[in-house]
Amino acid sequence: MPFRRIPFIFILCLTCWGLSSCLVKRRLITRAGAKPSQTLLLASRAELEQKIVEQYEAIHDFSATVDMTPALGTTEKSQITEFKDVRGFIVFRKPADIRIIGLYPVVRNTAFDMVSNGTDFKLYVPSRDRFLVGRNEVERPSSNKLENLRPLHFLEALLVHPLEPGERTILENFTDEDNAFYILHVVHETAGQLELLRTVWFSRLDLRLARQITLDPAGNILTDARYSNWQPYDGVAFPKHVEINRPRDEYAVVLDVVKMDINKGVSDDKFVLNQPEGTTLQIVGDAPPPAPAKGSTR
């Protein structure tokens, strides 16, 4: 009988078969939120771009009651102060009207009240008797973290915008033992140079939006928003849990939806915020006026 070469893999299998514990071990990969042995979903770049469009166009307005956990500070400075049990109310109407009211724990007095039309904003802080007005852009972050609050930051995080003219995407499949995401890198070209504007993350478990990171021209993070526990509200999907981090402005907030009404209409008066009598007006970007002497009247 002529000699025939036995494949190496066959020899390895025979060897393992004769051992009490084989050298080959099967290990299941379990990811957070996934079912056992869940098959990851597939999508193309065009399909993911369309999902952003569909989610954005599905919402024309909403009114939400939320539990808020604001936090001041940054991980870079290794110190964060959280405020628990803050009740919040958010109303939104396209194209860019948004108002957010935060109430203190227990007593439920107003902690802040802010409104924006997409270009300008107003912010009322009762504890400081301040009424701040200005543009939505934060050119130089204030040492007073409350002065860095902008309603537009919340809106940009809560409602992910579709691509604008001139923007392009690059698709990354970021899948390993712990992660399973598609990431759309949104870029545009300026003077022959590509600039990364934001990254939009989709979970491959359900192809829902999972995260959006927006960046400045230098590549620093402006907003890091994360979304989870998507639920249907009035027939429209919306994340029940949202985390918004603004590291440059040194604040963050966690939102948990308590009640949500979508596309039921929001009246004009919901976006009216007038300066309360006796408060000090501050144009953001200007130095705040000195506080009145103790015992004096305004």
273-298 per-position pLDDT tens digit: 999 999 999 988 655 555 544 444 44
- What's the domain count of the chain? 1
Structural domain includes residue 39: no
Domain that holds residue 50: 45-160+167-283
Residue 234, CA atoms < 13 Å, CB-side half-sphere: 14
Give the percent of the chain with pLDDT over 90.
61
H-run or E-run covering 82: strand 79-82
Q: What span, in angstroms and rounded, lies between the C-alpha atoms of 15 and 1?
A: 25
Which CATH number do you get for residue 224? 2.50.20.10
Q: What is the pLDDT of residue 25?
A: 62
Structural domain includes residue 40: no
Give me the residue label for tokens 């009762």: 126
42-55 per-position pLDDT tens digit: 999 999 999 999 99
Between CA 206 and CA 214, with CA 96 as vertex, the angle to 5 degrees is 55
pLDDT band (50, 70, 90) for residue 107: confident
Q: What span, in angstroms and rounded, lies between the C-alpha atoms of 147 and 123?
A: 8
Give me the residue label for tokens 């990811």: 31
Contact status, residue 229 vs residue 257, Cβ threshold 8 Å: no
Structural domain includes residue 192: yes
Structural domain includes residue 252: yes
Q: What's the N-to-C CA distance of the chain in angstroms?
A: 111
2-37 per-position pLDDT tens digit: 555 555 554 445 455 454 555 666 655 666 666 666
Q: Classify the C-alpha dihedral 199-201-207-210 as positive or negative.
A: negative
Whether cis (ω within 30° of 0) applies to the bond prior to 2 is: no
CA 44, chain centre distance (Å) = 23
Q: Is the per-residue pLDDT at 129 higher than 60?
A: yes
Give me the residue label for tokens 């003219």: 165
Structural domain includes residue 278: yes
Structural domain includes residue 3: no
Query: Is residue 128 classed as helix, strand or coil in its secondary structure?
Result: helix
Calculate the alpha carbon distances from 91 to 60, 61, 223, 274 in Å: 11, 8, 21, 17
Structural domain includes residue 60: yes
Structural domain includes residue 23: no
pLDDT band (50, 70, 90) for residue 183: very high
